[in-house]
Structure 1
Amino acid sequence: MSTAKGIIFLFLMSFIFILSACKNDDDNELELIVTDNVSLLANKTINSTVLGQTMKFNIILPNDYYTNTDRYYPVLYLLHGMGGDNTDWAIQGNAKQLVQDAFKNKVVAPMIVVMPDAFNTFYVDGYQNGLKYETYFWDEFLPFIESTYRVDALRENRFIAGLSMGGFGASYYAFTSPDKFVYCYSMSGAVEGIGLASTPSIADIIKAYESFGDLPAYTMDCGISDPLVYNSNQVVHAKLLEAGFDHEYIERDGTHDWLFWKKSLEMALERIGQYTN
């Protein structure tokens, strides 16, 4: 991304951050919501040595998790955007209902959905106030989740998705650690990076591989009216086509908002269902 584009991108993302900061404080008071086939546990915590603080996460569990105690489940790591937190997908993204419906309609097999808090770190080390978020994710968070909950920790049962900044984070993790995830879904992702060494274009990461056979399957989904990332998604898509990397690219009506991302989550769950059903 050019310097000018980077400045514009950061300005618009800062605007989104301000809007997100205006959320009602009551939004963070969720604790446990149980429905007929899904349990949402909110604001669970992990003490991070890497970050020097307590970190929060939300997690969705299928209700048979509590009765079928011998069963281990696939897992989806679902990442928020800039200005968001671990509650965004539950509150604004209606994730509990969407996951519940997907289970009920057998779109996807029962699985665990994990929604971490990443502040505004871009999911990398050093971007925000020197925080080593990427180190935290790999060294502390993922091992904690997969040892605390009954996660089937095989690559073929591990998925990652995210919106905007989280679309970058999901893509970055999927293609810098391709042995960890079988599939990645980017929703309005900042996939061209923002011009820093720690936040490179996803196309550059993928193109650096000599062959693509062992890389995760990849979907890029972006709204044609998105003022933030539509152009950069087009650029990355074109570079991946040129490199011969097989991927799914979706352009559809919509902009950089929750109406678009809720549909993205439905579509992501449909695709994940091809692996879990």
Structure 2
Amino acid sequence: MTSTILERQINFYILQPETPPNETINVLYVQDGDDYLKIGKIQECFEQLLNDHPSKAENLSIILVPPGNSIERYNFYHPEGSSHEQYLKFFYNELIPEIEKIFAGKRKRIQRQGLLGDSLGGAVSLSLCCRAPEKWTHLILQSAAFSPKNRQEAKAVHDLKNIKIYQLVGKKEDSFVSPISNEPLYILTNNREMRKVLATKQVDVTYIEEDEEHLWVFWQRDLPRALSYFLNN
């Protein structure tokens, strides 16, 4: 699709069964769509879920949204990125209406609607959720690279208690250095702090720490559990 807001082409992908059997579907928007497809093996994970749990997975539609190159990604995803506000507007004013139009044309009704993201993709997923929490039922965060501004966003939201959050982080992630800013991101510490903020909001959070680093192999291994969380909770 062509985004007027971002002034560029956005090539999103939809993963779903060839013919979803039910009228009701569950939609999961995925940041870093290309990476989840190529490195995270999300299509293979989805196909395995369809094989193992067809009654649940056959109602799932996954929207993969690639951000562009690493600089564009930073500017879209980071709260202080030069195009961050435009990206949030694009998501709500252009992308979601386009997806809703596609499913309405197939006479599908959306029941659950979630966001999935890793690292900065997790941070922007939280930003999107905080802008319009009533739009979402689930937030799936894999090693989200939160900044203090993300905590401020969460604190400022009046009501998040109807959203179920899956929050995964590795115990070795504080040492990860951003390739853009060349500064450590203290991902473990910031996730622990975000967990405290969410606790004050009475949010249903499934929080998991594992002895892992900030690597795709960690998120790929976790993906079946994360997708199952979206389908079953």
Secondary structure of 1:262's aligned partner: helix
- Tell me the residue number matched to 1:127: 81
- Tell me the residue number matched to 2:3: 48
Tell me the distance in 2 between the aligned counterparts of 1:104 and 1:94: 16
Aligned residues of 1:159 and 1:184 also touching (Cα < 8 A): yes
Tell me the distance in 2 between the aligned counterparts of 1:225 and 1:143: 39
- Tell me the residue number matched to 1:186: 141
Aligned residues of 1:60 and 1:114 also touching (Cα < 8 A): yes
1:223 corresponds to 2:170: yes
- Tell me the residue number matched to 1:146: 100
- Tell me the residue number matched to 1:76: 28
Structure 1, unmatched stretches of 5+, are 1-45, 81-85
1:273 corresponds to 2:201: no
Q: How many residue pairs end up in the alignment?
A: 213
- Tell me the residue number matched to 1:171: 126
In 2 relative to 1, CA 208–132 (structure 1 residues): closer, same or farther, beyond 3 Å? Answer: closer
Instruction: Specify the code of the residue in structure 2 equivalent to 1:133.
Output: Y
> What's the Cα RMSD here?
2.5
Larger radius of gyration: 1
Hey, which of these two has a bigger chunk of helix by percent? 2
In 2 relative to 1, CA 51–211 (structure 1 residues): closer, same or farther, beyond 3 Å? Answer: closer
| 1:180-206 deviation digits (Å, cap 9, x = unpaired) | 110111000013x2x5xxxx22x3333
- Tell me the residue number matched to 1:30: none
Which of 40, 43, 47 lines up with 1:100 in the alignment? 47
1:260 corresponds to 2:218: yes
| 1:230-261 deviation digits (Å, cap 9, x = unpaired) | 12111222333356544221101211111111
Structure 2, unmatched stretches of 5+, are 177-186
Instruction: Specify the code of the residue in structure 1 equivalent to 2:192.
Output: Q
Tell me the distance in 2 between the aligned counterparts of 1:207 and 1:126: 17
Identity %: 21
State the TM-score, normalized to the length of structure 1: 0.68
Instruction: Specify the code of the residue in structure 2 equivalent to 1:206.
Output: A
Instruction: Specify the code of the residue in structure 2 equivalent to 1:135.
Output: K
Secondary structure of 2:195's aligned partner: helix
In 2 relative to 1, CA 167–153 (structure 1 residues): closer, same or farther, beyond 3 Å? Answer: farther
In 2 relative to 1, CA 257–109 (structure 1 residues): closer, same or farther, beyond 3 Å? Answer: same
Secondary structure of 1:221's aligned partner: strand
Secondary structure of 1:99's aligned partner: helix
1:115 corresponds to 2:64: yes
Which of 78, 81, 87 lines up with 2:34 in the alignment? 87
